[in-house]
Amino acid sequence: MKELRSCVPDLEEELGRPGPVLVAEAADWPGDVVVLGAGGKTGAGIASMARRALDGAGREDVQVLAVSRWTDARGRAGLEKLGVRTLAVDLSDPAAVDALPDAAVVIHLVGAKFGTASAPEQAWMTNTVLPAFVARRYRGARVVALSTGNVYGMTAPVTGGSRETDEPRPVGDYAVTCRGREQVFTHAARTEGTPVALIRLNYAVEPRYGVLADLARTLLAGQPVDLGAGAVNVVWQRYANEVVLRSVGHAAAPEPFVLNLTGPETAGVRTLATRLAHHLDVVAGFTGEEPATSLLADATLCHTLFGYPDRSLGQLIELQTRWITEGGELWDKPTKFERRDGRF
């Protein structure tokens, strides 16, 4: 496992690093790759990993196209430097989606979460209507669509979390519309024969962003940690990026391939905060009560197919605290993981 310095270039290089198995699988990808929503938190890592995997497989002729509105000029330039072609497109415009270049592989990362409690129509447009445009445009491609564990209901930690075969019980506009996205792509799989993979991710972490970063910032600010979430699953972002791309080969029709993507540990919020506080040399304070149920996923299938994450929970905690104490960059993008009412 590579030791990361607390600097963005090293981190981004690691988040986009393909493992040897992915490189071997990329040799069999059927053609050009388009990453939709590439300007989001996970997009740059996935797009760069796809490019590097194809290069490692000797397939420099296969294009990787990263599509976004591109408000982040630095991120866009970084991808271009790696050989990823970028395109600025408003994907809520069906004519613009219809005009996108052909591709054999589609990685759909587009989503709306934060702010949707006050603007639910944005969640419906982005998470449910927009995927219909994509499904129509790329009906002949292999589609991997990022979803969320929020489509499940709460479970007791002792159960190990929701499984892929459990009935979804989404709460709130965000979760309901994400379930709608899944149903749109399922419709494409059943009616058009589009091979689809639906990846239910929760909670990917890296040092700039995520549950661990949120907890660490709360502790350093001397504020009490909200115990409302009870327990969580987290997973290393690089591993999550790789699983998304390795799912290309598992996309299926007429029934989509469905996968829970998270780490193997169920961690209590109190335990996480206490461990982080120890490393940060601060005292952890708490507010609220620990509930009997939490939003949890059982990722046994993921670990069986793709192996365990290359950084354990303990290593992620150490990485997070070292990153902060050494002055590493943090994003002001709280996850709001403690919310139980589905309002984000």
Checking DSSP bridges between strand 225-226 and strand 286-287, what pairing results, if any? parallel
Is residue 344 over pLDDT 60? no
Is residue 283 over pLDDT 80? yes
Is residue 217 over pLDDT 70? yes
What's residue 64's pLDDT?
Answer: 99
Contact 181, 113 (CB under 8 A): no
- Of 129, 123, 131, 104, whose CA–CA distance to 37 is shortest? 131
Q: Does some domain include residue 338?
A: no
Q: Total domain count for the chain?
A: 1
Q: CA 326, CA 120: separation in Å to the nearest integer? A: 39
What's residue 6's pLDDT?
Answer: 57
Q: What is the mean pLDDT of residues 182-204?
A: 98
Q: CA 327, CA 219: separation in Å to the nearest integer? A: 16
What's residue 9's pLDDT?
Answer: 83
Q: CA 164, CA 197: separation in Å to the nearest integer? A: 12
Q: Does some domain include residue 218?
A: no
Q: CA 264, CA 242: separation in Å to the nearest integer? A: 16
Domain containing 131 equals 8-207+236-265+297-312
Contact 111, 44 (CB under 8 A): no
Name the 3-class secondary structure at 215: helix
pLDDT, tens digit, 9 for 90 and up, residues 49-74:
999 999 999 999 999 999 999 998 99
Q: Calculate ∠ Cα 275-278-279, nearest 5°.
A: 95
The pair of three-digit structure tokens given for residue 30, joined into one six-digit string: 């059927």
The pair of three-digit structure tokens given for residue 16, joined into one six-digit string: 């986009």
Is residue 338 over pLDDT 80? no
What's residue 334's pLDDT?
Answer: 82
Is residue 319 over pLDDT 70? yes
Q: Does some domain include residue 102?
A: yes
225: phi then psi, degrees, rounded to nearest 5: -85, 130
Q: What is the mean pLDDT of residues 231-251?
A: 98
In whole numbers, what is the pLDDT of the chain averaged over residues?
A: 93
Please name the helix (run of DSSP H) or strand (run of DSSP E) that holds residue 149, with its range, or none: none
Is residue 84 over pLDDT 90? yes
Q: What is the mean pLDDT of residues 210-239?
A: 96
Is residue 204 over pLDDT 80? yes
What's residue 310's pLDDT?
Answer: 95
Q: Does some domain include residue 285?
A: no
Q: Does some domain include residue 288?
A: no
Is residue 340 over pLDDT 80? no
What does 295-339 look like in DSSP terms, one character per residue?
Answer: --B--HHHHHHH---SS-HHHHHHHHHHHHHTT----S----TT-
Q: Does some domain include residue 225?
A: no
Q: What is the mean pLDDT of residues 84-107?
A: 97
- Of 266, 260, 334, whose CA–CA distance to 304 is shortest? 260
For residue 41, what pLDDT band results from cuts at 50, 70 and 90? confident
Contact 162, 260 (CB under 8 A): yes
Q: Is the dihedral of CA 273, 276, 277, 278 positive or negative?
A: positive
The CATH number of the domain holding residue 51 is: 3.40.50.720
Is residue 277 over pLDDT 60? yes
What's residue 116's pLDDT?
Answer: 65
Name the 3-class secondary structure at 12: helix
Q: What is the mean pLDDT of residues 285-293?
A: 94
Is residue 341 over pLDDT 80? no
Q: What is the mean pLDDT of residues 293-307?
A: 98
- Tokens 């996850």 correspond to 335
The radius of gyration of the chain's CA atoms, rounded to the nearest angstrom, is 19
What's residue 333's pLDDT?
Answer: 81
Q: Does some domain include residue 200?
A: yes
The pLDDT > 90 percentage for the chain reads 84
pLDDT, tens digit, 9 for 90 and up, residues 122-152:
889 999 999 999 999 999 899 999 999 999 9
Q: Does some domain include residue 223?
A: no
